[in-house]
Structure 1
Amino acid sequence: MTNILLCTLGASWAVAPEIYGFTSPGKLPLYRHHPNKPELDKLLAEYDLEEVDEIWVCTTQGEATQKSLASLVQWADLLPKPPILRIWMAEATNELTTQHECRHIRELIVRAVLAAHEYAQGGQVTLSLAGGRKTMSADMQWAATVFGCSALLHVIGAEFKQMPESLKNAAPELFTKPLIADNCAAIMPLITGQTQRSDLLDIRMDDCEAVTAQAFPLPLPETGQSVVWPAPDKWLEQELKNREKTGSRLLGNYFFDLSRHEKHENWRSLYRLSPRLINHLRQTPLGPEHKNWLERLPKADLHRHLGGCLNLEDQRQVGLSVWQALSKQEKAKALAAVKTLLDESDRHWDWNWIDSIKNCDNKAHLSAALLVEASDAQLHNNLWQATEPRVALKHGERGFSAYERPGDLSGSTLLSSPAAIPSYAECIVRQCVVERLAYVELRGSPQKYGDGLVFLESFYQALQQALASLPARLKPEFRFIIIADRRKNEQLQQTIALAVQAKRRWPDFIVGLDLAGDESELLPDNIGEVFLPAFEVCLPITIHAGEGEEAGAIWKAAYLLHADRIGHGLTLNDHPELAERFRNRDICLELCPTSNIEVVGFRVPGNPATEQFSEYPLMSLWDKGLPLTVCTDNPGISRTTLTGEYLMAAAMSDGKLTLWDALAMIKQGFVHAFLPGGEKERLLKRFDADIYRYLSETFDFNS
């Protein structure tokens, strides 16, 4: 980044050092003895001005100007750490007594200001109203209103007759060191304001896409050299005036074109951003450098399994809570049951080691024993490392169980113990706060944790307790979706009955029903009738479908069960008519990139283990206009976060997923939440305002 001071110059050359000494006291403490130095320092701090790196000068070719330039160059050469000095002279101009001369110097000024902003690359551009004729000052002020500036600077002082003699015909040497107090008192630097860049610069008009230095070039002088610049054939001044005349029409056309070509509406307030910022968001691919930016955005996760939430550290914490609740005899019995595993510290455990734990009446005790007593290396090796590489595990020797292995000691294994529930809830809340999740739909199978209703009551209360101490702005909102397993037809009706009971008891907490399990399992012919009780209480439905299986499973979910959302839906591209149906019915897809890699297998640039797989369908589905949002699935199992999932989606999309897309996908998470309309609108309005404020502060395109 480069900080540039741009000024005009006439017969008095000293205005440039006077302004430079004010803006860059660390390099030239010109006003060290100024009677108003505290006020000057306060002014610099108020506008947050940084020291100048380069001085750009626009002037005429007159004889008086040449003398001024000679003194200015001499002054810069005398400084121990001089700024870079670049000088332009409008060809064949002198006293600015003709319309042509005035127009020529105005064109030079506006082109120089435009070039300065692009050359600064995010640095500050300050403009001086002092120096040269009043028409040049007026031109500089107009340029400031069009292109914006960090500060508009001026210098006022005593009348020439009242000036100290040493200032009247000052030599360059005088302005290379602090001025004496009397000289300082005769000079008063000012900041008259700060201006914002006009939105009109970034809008297409006729054959001009936007106003850029490439479209209206200005040659860059070498350091300390002058460029004589002839009048151009194409006038930036005229382009700016045309845009000002038709400003409202241009902005209206811009936003009309934007909305006409968009397949997904973004946050409403984002359309109030400047066209320049909107274009930046639309054209910038999401990448790892945006991790912090993503983390700070409020997000919704609609597909987050309770059993796969916890990382190893959290699993250990919950395991310790269960362990501390056991008696000495229970601990001894549990340790004896897992002793063989604990003793095998140097090699992988037998693949079926988990069966002896899950089939035990006290499986939570055994799980806790391993989580408390086993080393990190043992747990990591046998929960994660044993299934590496974690790509397309569904099609491997171990099948889907290999994908689930990292969660085998948590989930239903731990949650069958009431002692696990408070700690489990604390871990989930802490996790979601760190991830800046504003809304989370957890999903799980309470029927697997003992009495389903008893578990839900305990878990709901534990969540409220974990949230109680958080400030309102950090509190995620949690809802729960009950999972029915398509692999267990005989239990399907019981689970749906449980979901209906739970919905009636906790109408604001239980928000949906999910059908999960192996898609190859055929749905019973009367599946619609089985779900009737859920339809009667208006439970929204989401269904795991299209995760590597043919699109047939997806249409059954859509037509037989009236699904509101689909978990994954990765094969929907194979059925264009059905994809169109989804778009028309606004059925949202819940895509979980890392989980999809681990279960099905998709190509990730830079990951050799995935080269043989097909491209991830996220962007092709998005470009078709299908509503979709990014989710985590099992963040503990996949060692990911929601921010990580957006970054993984971007990596798999080969630069096609932009910041604007990511924002719209985040919005889809709130739009398709299983919430009543009023609650949903409340969240959308709240986070719309938050995101607008955050983006306005994060991206400063006005300097």
Structure 2
Amino acid sequence: MPRPLSELPKAHLHLHFTGSMRHSTLVELARGHGSHLPDSLKEDWPPQLRATDERGWFRFQRLYDIARSVLQRESDVYRLLREAAEDEAAEGSGWLEIQIDPSGYASTFGGLTSAMELMLDATRRAADHAGIGIAVVVAANRTRHPLDAKTLARLATRYMDQGVVGFGLSNDERRGRARDFDGAFRLAKRAGLLAVPHGGELLGAASVAECVDVLEADRVGHGVRAAESPRLMERLAARGIACEVCPTSNVGLGVVERAEDVPLRRLFEAGVPIALGADDPLLFGARLLPQYELARQVYGFSDPELAELARQSIRVSAAPEEVRKRLFQGIDDWLASDDGRDGDRPASGTERIGDRPSSEG
């Protein structure tokens, strides 16, 4: 049997705060707060999404906003991050960089700074609870004014000594060019933060190139459309700029029709560093482990290649050197282990890791 992928040490670098919530937690919190959930977030979960047109993206964003609205108490934030950390540990993640936009919670938790400090404290407690490393990427919203992004960049630099390691840019690429946010990214890069904007998801290779050329991206969120340009892939490989590839998300939002169409193998063989990610498990129904299962079962990655994927995720992370060494050693041990042990059951859309109960309820 194949080696168990849950025992392969790895880093998870593309996970959004709200989207990391367990589905069972969403339902329970909504019930406790008296909040209404649409059928697509209850009985018909995970929702059928397709965001390649304006209407589809609006529906995706509406569901995301509904999910955000159930986090009304500080205890809800602590619970979300504790459970996310538990799920990461169960899947073999030794290092997580979670993306947070505190402006989405500022009105609920006493302002931008208070929301930021709440999330950072919850992150620290979750890391200690689950025994993994967790850092924070502060992500600006493409659909808001670039001055808002500058405010978030300054906030991110203020908390670098409390676990903030990067500055990102998320939401619909079609509604905000990367170049419009160059001022915010200059602030972040000057302070020493990683630049990790989204690009090459709903727009093509030119979107990835703009993130690299204008924002000086260290990694690109998604970036799969870079595969449309051999020259761009060569540049990414030569400069060691990683793509945070999220196959289940790509299918869920209609970036590709089928999992088989995600160009993971093409990027890998071109030498582009890759960090597999889950993006928003709450809306796509799959966490990180199923992405590695897809790499094995759909894209034909051998165990040595899967080990290299895991190494790449760690190399392009902000994990401290001692964490890197421990995780690299764990990968070597995994690869040296016998093949004859029982492997993981195949993870699929119907076996949802996010629904495992929390050890603390």
Fold shared per TM-score above 0.5: yes
Measure how far apart 1:309 and its partner are: 0.9
**What letter matches 1:628 in structure 2?**
I
Question: What amino acid is the match of 1:488?
Answer: R
Q: Give 1:526 deviation, angstroms.
A: 5.9
Superposed CA offset, 1:247-292 (max 9, x none): xxxxxxxxxxxxxxxxxxxxxxxxxxxxxxxxxxxxxxxxxx64x7
Q: Does 2:98 align with 1:442?
A: yes
- Look up the SS of the partner of 2:213 in the other structure: helix
Give the secondary structure class of the aligned counterpart of 2:136. Answer: strand
The match for 1:498 among 145, 148, 152 is 152
2:333 corresponds to 1:689 = no
Amino acid at match of 2:225: T
User: 1:533, 1:584 → 2: CA distance?
Assistant: 25
- 8 A Cα contact 1:565 1:587, kept in partner: yes
CA separation of 1:659 and 1:587: change in aligned 2, threshold 3 A: same
Larger Rg: 1
Q: 1:674 — aligned with what?
A: 318
RMSD, aligned α-carbons: 2.8
Secondary structure at 1:685 match in 2: helix
SS at match of 1:630: coil
Superposed, which structure 2 residues align to 1:426-465 within 5 Å? 426-450=82-106, 451-465=111-125
Q: Secondary structure at the match of 1:698?
A: coil
**1:382 Cα deviation (Å)?**
5.8
Does structure 2 retain, via aligned residues, the 8 Å contact 1:429–1:467? yes
2:16 to 305, 318, 322: 305
SS at 2:67's partner residue?
A: coil
- Deviation, structure 1 residue 561: 0.7
Is contact 1:318–1:424 with CA below 8 Å preserved after alignment? no
Shift of 1:444: 1.9
Matches within 5 A, 1:166-315: 290=2, 293-315=4-26
CA contact (8 A) 2:9 2:94 kept: yes
Give the SS at the match of 1:515: strand
Partners of 1:481 and 1:439 lie apart in 2 by 13
User: Residue 206 of structure 2 corresponds to which residue in structure 1?
Assistant: 552
How far did 1:553 drift?
Answer: 1.1
Q: 1:674 to 1:306 in 2, by over 3 A?
A: same
Under a length normalisation based on structure 1, what TM-score does the superposition of the two structures give? Answer: 0.45
Identity across matched positions, percent? 23
SS in 1 for 2:83: helix
Q: How far is 1:691 from its partner?
A: 2.8
Task: Classify the secondary structure of the residue corresponding to 2:122.
Answer: helix
- 1:300 corresponds to which letter in structure 2? A
Q: Cα gap change, 1:476/1:555 in structure 2, threshold over 3 Å: closer, same or farther?
A: same
1:526/1:460 CA distance change after superposition, 3 Å = closer
Could you say which residue in structure 2 is the equivalent of 1:399? 56
Name the SS for the 2:161 alignment partner: coil
Matched, 1:533 2:200: no
Write out per-residue CA displacement over residues 360-406 of structure 1, whole angstroms, 9 at most, x where no aligned residue: xxxxxxxx3137xx7x978424654xx43x4xx01368312344565
State the match for 2:281 in structure 1.
Answer: 635
- Show the counterpart of 2:165: 511
Q: CA separation of 1:693/1:661 partners in 2, compared to 1, >3 Å: closer, same or farther?
A: closer
- Distance across 2 between alignment mates of 1:629 and 1:426: 23
Q: Offset at 1:433?
A: 2.4
Gap change, CA 1:646 and 1:454, over 3 Å in 2:
same
Secondary structure of 2:204's aligned partner: coil
Distance 1:396 1:496, change over 3 A: closer
Q: CA deviation at 1:307?
A: 1.1
Hey, what's the Cα distance between the residues in 1 that align with 2:193 and 2:329? 30
Cα deviation digits, residues 495-547 of structure 1 (max 9, x gap) = 33333233323424111111122222353866433433222212211111111
2:194 is aligned with what amino acid? P
1:648 to 288, 294, 302: 294
Higher relative contact order (CA 8 A, sep 6+): 2
Specify the code of the residue in structure 2 equivalent to 1:687: L
Q: What does residue range 69-84 of structure 1 map to in structure 2 within 5 Å?
A: none
Give the secondary-structure state (helix, strand or coil) at the position aligned to 2:326: helix
Alpha-carbon separation, structure 2, partners of 1:448 and 1:547: 22
Residue 421, structure 1, aligned to residue 56, structure 2 = no
Residues 692-703 of structure 1 aligned to structure 2 (within 5 Å): 692-699=332-339
Q: Distance in 1 between matches of 2:336 and 2:295?
A: 25
- Superposition TM-score, scaled by structure 2 size: 0.83
Gaps of 5+ in 1: 1-288, 324-367, 606-613
**1:177-222 Cα distance to aligned partner (Å, 9 max, x none):** xxxxxxxxxxxxxxxxxxxxxxxxxxxxxxxxxxxxxxxxxxxxxx
Q: How far has the Cα of 1:480 moved from its partner? A: 0.7
SS in 2 for 1:394: coil
Structure 2 residue aligned with 1:571: 225
Q: Is the 8 A contact 2:150 2:183 kept in 1?
A: no
Structure 2 unaligned segments of length 5 or more: list them: 342-361
- The equivalent position to 2:248 in structure 1, one of 591, 594, 613, is 594
